[in-house]
């Protein structure tokens, strides 16, 4: 039973190591890279040793040769394991050479095994233990410096090496003990069984370390992913830089990178920008071109490992040389929304488990891209929410503003839908119609119209809905509203359509025009009275015109007779009359002539009242010059200086304004008659709000106390002996200026001259 157990354990151990050797060999044949070849090379000698051991039983004649093969294959395992350790930990040259020299010395000493087996096998087992233990320690240190799936695989590999060292320690102990003593069968069985069990465990550790099944690698990857996501969840933000920093930290921890560079994709410029430059920093303007030297497009291809010096740009090669990297791992970060960028990971060694590194880094990059996609979508969602909140706030504000305007409107506002149902009213509607808001809203709008108009209103409303223009309602018709108490009142209604999400709404602005109707009736009555009075005034004007004709005809004839007969007396009997009588007759003639002038002036003044204004643009300066020339021709002996401002234009009736200017200039001419050197000016006042013209003289002037009497009919401030006149001229001027919509006034001082100002049509001073 004991022998059968030993054989079973030995068979199990052999099967485990053969499986490990077979799986590593298959991996190398599938992927064909150096790391997998070196791993397969570790276990092929062990498989060869197992085969040699079993072949000894089948071929007894070859026992010595097969034993030699077994021994050499077994001893080569630790040296080959040392080669694999160089992938993640540098092995000093002296150690590698010492291992190789020791192995060669043991091989050379093998012929002495028959004569001195203890002297040969003891150093051989010691060599195996020392080199295997040293390699196991390197695996442990590598596991401590690396993370991810590689960390777990190296830990298992180091455990396998340690267990194998323990196997050889037990074997060495048994050899040394057997050299002096004969162990009991039980002790031998226990030791042999222990060796087989430990060797089996070592094989299993090697299997899970160097050729783990897919499900186990996937489980390790999920644990690393969970750890990565836990670290990422501690960040307060998921900006591109923050996610790239977390991904770079994960890459450093997973593969023990010498440096990590993160490049972010700028979608607008379609360019890669360096986000994390690494240490030492990578400084390249066009990193994408550097990566496309070997035809690899990071946006379309998967992650890859580039051994250096590789087929990449010179800039990347120089940076890798500064880092001391032997390998670059290129990991694209591509999301479902857009490509986000990529990682460039510099390794000082070739990765031992390259596919595991690529799978894990690609998984981390994929989750990072998902985080960035999520952050981008979340940002868009926040912006959409902010926009929606702003829109809701604006709509609420607009609604409040609309309701405020609705309530502050002076008219009653009624809003109805396409079916004529009241949707909204304001407080003025409640006051105007006497209804509460709840009584009106939801009711047909026809409840606000008198019953006799409701059917026709419904038809007109349906017709209006077809085109719904903005217009007054019931043009040319008298509209009426109906209050809650049944009373009617006249209204005006303006209709305005409003397109809303709920459909077409019609806003009706209703105004109570009761007071306006009353005022219109009063105005109409006043207009009728005015027309009647205008007719009476026209009749009076006709009578006045007839009277004026009578005056001009009936009064002038006697005056001409008085003047004529007086002149005849003077001519025929003047020499017979005493001087006093002739003086009386001259006075009679003068009075008759003044009376005729007065009648003419009054008639002219009355005609001005009925004159029709015909304004046009005229040159006042030119007109004043013509009047001045006429005055000089009338009295050429006088020395009068005229100062006329040139080209003063105005809009006025030429005939009427000439009469006004003649009167003003005649006055100035008359009242300067006693000056040796008279000066008369015509111009425009400067710095005035309205255009103001003036006529100024240096004549007799007057006292401003009497200025209010100046423009009255028959009002004179000087005696007729000093300055003759009728007292109608300035009244005529005032009448003409008022007809033009202007005003006239005077400023003067006694014996210092006078200035007469006038405006026309309220013209502004330009």
Q: What is the DSSP string of 333-393?
A: EE-SSSEEEEEEEEESS--TTHHHHHHHHHHHHHHHHHHHHHHHHHHHHHHHHHHHHHHHH
Q: What is the pLDDT of residues 572-615, one digit of tens each?
A: 777 777 888 777 777 777 666 666 666 665 566 556 555 667 78
Predicted confidence at residue 619, as pLDDT, reads 92
According to CATH, the topology of domain 612-758 is Heat Shock Protein 90 (3.30.565)
Domain at 409-512, CATH homologous superfamily: PAS domain (3.30.450.20)
- With a cut of 90, say whether residue 68 has pLDDT above it: no
Residues 6+ away with beta carbon under 8 Å from 447: 440, 482
Interval 388-415 mean pLDDT: 82
For the stretch 460-467, contacts whose Cβ atoms lie closer than 8 Å and that sit 24 or more positions apart, written own/partner, are: 461/420, 464/495, 464/506, 465/418, 465/504, 465/506
Predicted confidence at residue 694, as pLDDT, reads 93
415: which 2 tokens? 């809003």
Interval 313-335 mean pLDDT: 81
Alpha helices in 643-755 (DSSP H): 654-671, 729-739
- With a cut of 60, say whether residue 430 has pLDDT above it: yes
The residue ranking higher by pLDDT, 113 or 319, is 319
327: which 2 tokens? 């390998």
Predicted confidence at residue 1, as pLDDT, reads 42
- With a cut of 60, say whether residue 765 has pLDDT above it: no
pLDDT winner (highest mean) among 47-61, 106-120, 286-300, 653-667? 653-667
- Distance, CA of 380 to chain centre: 15
- CATH architecture, domain defined by 218-381: 2-Layer Sandwich (3.30)
Q: For the chain, what percent of residues have pLDDT higher than 70?
A: 81
Four-way CATH pick for 2-212: 3.90.660, 2.60.40, 1.25.40, 1.20.1070: 1.20.1070
Q: Residue 360: which of 226, 489, 497, 260 has the closest Cα?
A: 226
- With a cut of 70, say whether residue 331 has pLDDT above it: yes
Cα dist. 76→35, 71, 79, 103 in Å? Answer: 18, 9, 5, 8
Q: Residue 264: which of 295, 247, 241 has the closest Cα?
A: 241
Burial class (CB in 10 A: 0-12, 13-18, 19+), 511: middle
Q: Which of 127-131, 156-160, 233-237 has the lowest mean pLDDT?
A: 233-237
Q: What is the pLDDT of residues 723-744, one digit of tens each?
A: 555 556 777 788 888 888 888 8
Predicted confidence at residue 551, as pLDDT, reads 61
pLDDT winner (highest mean) among 234-248, 414-428, 692-706? 414-428
Interval 61-76 mean pLDDT: 70
CB atoms within 10 A of CB 278: 19
Residue 260's pLDDT band, with cuts at 50, 70 and 90, is confident
Predicted confidence at residue 123, as pLDDT, reads 83
Residue 125's pLDDT band, with cuts at 50, 70 and 90, is confident
Interval 251-280 mean pLDDT: 79
Q: Which of 59-68, 154-163, 339-348 has the lowest mean pLDDT?
A: 59-68
Cα dist. 266→152, 163, 587, 674 in Å? Answer: 38, 53, 117, 101
Predicted confidence at residue 766, as pLDDT, reads 43
Residue 124's pLDDT band, with cuts at 50, 70 and 90, is confident
Q: How far apart are CA 546 and CA 537, in angstroms?
A: 14
**Confidence (pTM):** 0.51
Interval 421-428 mean pLDDT: 87
Interval 40-68 mean pLDDT: 70
**SS3 track for 539-599:** HHHHHHHHHHHHHHHHHHHHHHHHHHHHHHHHHHHCCCCCHHHHHHHHHHHHHHHHHHHHH
The residue ranking higher by pLDDT, 555 or 313, is 313
Contact 740, 760 (CB under 8 A): yes
Predicted confidence at residue 602, as pLDDT, reads 59
Q: Calculate the average pLDDT of the chain.
A: 78
Residues 6+ away with beta carbon under 8 Å from 464: 495, 506
């Amino acid at each position: 039973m004991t022998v059968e157990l030993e054989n079973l354990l030995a068979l199990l151990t052999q099967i485990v190591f053969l499986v490990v050797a077979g799986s590593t060999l298959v991996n190398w044949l599938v992927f064909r890279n150096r790391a997998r070849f070196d791993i397969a090379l570790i276990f092929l000698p062990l498989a060869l040793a197992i085969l040699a051991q079993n072949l000894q039983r089948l071929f007894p004649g070859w026992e010595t040769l097969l034993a030699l093969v077994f021994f050499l294959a077994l001893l080569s395992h630790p040296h080959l394991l040392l080669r694999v350790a160089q992938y993640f930990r540098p092995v000093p040259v002296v150690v590698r050479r010492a291992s190789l020299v020791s192995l060669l010395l043991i091989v050379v000493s093998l012929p002495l095994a028959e004569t001195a087996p203890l002297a040969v096998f003891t150093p051989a087992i010691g060599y195996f233990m020392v080199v295997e233990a040293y390699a196991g320690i390197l695996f442990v240190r590598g596991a401590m410096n690396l993370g991810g799936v590689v960390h777990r695989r190296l830990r298992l590999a180091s455990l396998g090496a340690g267990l194998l060292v323990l196997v050889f320690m037990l074997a060495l102990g048994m050899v040394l003990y057997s050299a002096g003593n004969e162990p009991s069968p039980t002790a031998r069985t226990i030791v042999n069984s222990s060796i087989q069990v430990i060797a089996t465990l070592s094989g299993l550790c090697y299997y899970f370390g160097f050729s783990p099944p897919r499900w186990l690698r996937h489980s390790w990857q999920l644990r690393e992913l969970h750890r990565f996501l836990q670290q990422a969840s501690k960040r307060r933000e998921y900006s591109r830089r923050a996610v790239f920093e977390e991904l770079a930290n994960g890459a450093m921890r997973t593969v023990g990178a010498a440096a990590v560079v993160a490049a972010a994709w700028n979608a607008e410029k379609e360019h890669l920008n360096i986000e994390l430059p690494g240490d030492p920093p990578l400084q390249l303007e066009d990193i994408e071109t550097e990566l496309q030297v070997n035809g690899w497009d990071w946006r379309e291809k998967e992650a890859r490992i580039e051994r250096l010096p590789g087929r990449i740009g010179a800039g990347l090669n120089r940076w890798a040389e500064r880092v001391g990297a032997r390998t670059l791992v290129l990991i694209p970060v591509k999301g479902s929304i857009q490509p986000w960028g990529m990682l460039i990971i510099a390794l000082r060694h070739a990765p031992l488990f390259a596919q595991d590194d690529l799978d894990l880094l690609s998984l981390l990059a994929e989750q990072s891209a998902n985080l960035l996609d999520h952050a981008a979508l979340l940002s868009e969602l926040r912006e959409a929410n902010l926009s929606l909140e702003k829109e809701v706030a604006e709509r609420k504000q607009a609604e409040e503003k609309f309701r405020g305007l609705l309530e502050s409107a002076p008219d009653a506002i009624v809003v109805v839908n396409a079916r004529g149902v009241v949707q909204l009213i304001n407080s003025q509607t409640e006051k105007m119609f006497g209804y509460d808001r709840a009584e009106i809203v939801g009711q047909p709008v026809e409840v606000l119209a008198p019953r006799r108009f409701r059917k026709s209103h419904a038809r007109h409303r349906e017709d209006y809905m077809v085109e719904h223009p903005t217009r007054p309602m019931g043009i040319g018709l008298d509209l009426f509203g109906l209050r809650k108490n049944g009373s009617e009142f006249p209204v005006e209604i303006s209709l305005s359509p409003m397109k809303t999400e709920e459909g077409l709404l019609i806003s009706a602005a209703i105004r109570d025009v009761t007071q306006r109707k009353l005022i219109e009736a009063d105005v109409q009555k006043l207009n009728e009275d005015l027309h009647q009075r205008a007719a009476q005034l026209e009749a009076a004007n006709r009578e006045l015109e007839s009277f004026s004709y009578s005056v001009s005809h009936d009064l002038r004839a006697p005056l001409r007779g008085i003047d004529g007969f007086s002149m005849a007396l003077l001519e025929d009997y003047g020499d017979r009359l005493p001087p006093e009588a002739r003086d009386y007759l001259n006075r009679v003639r003068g009075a008759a002539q003044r009376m005729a002038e007065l009648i003419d002036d009054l008639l002219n003044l009355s005609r001005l009242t009925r004159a029709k204004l015909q304004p046009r643009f005229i040159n006042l300066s030119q007109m004043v010059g013509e009047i001045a020339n006429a005055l000089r021709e009338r009295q050429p002996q006088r020395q009068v200086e005229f100062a006329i401002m040139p080209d003063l234009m105005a809009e006025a009736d030429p005939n009427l304004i000439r009469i006004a200017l003649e009167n003003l200039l005649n006055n100035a001419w008359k009242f300067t008659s006693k000056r040796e050197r008279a000066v008369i000016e015509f111009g425009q006042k400067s710095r005035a709000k309205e255009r103001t013209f003036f006529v100024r003289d240096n004549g007799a002037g007057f006292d401003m106390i009497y200025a209010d009497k100046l423009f009255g009919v028959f009002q004179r401030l000087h005696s007729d002996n000093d300055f003759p006149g009728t007292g109608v001229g300035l009244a005529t001027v005032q009448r003409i200026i008022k007809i033009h919509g202007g005003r006239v006034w005077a400023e003067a001082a006694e014996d210092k001259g006078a200035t007469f100002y006038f405006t026309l049509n309220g013209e502004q001073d330009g």
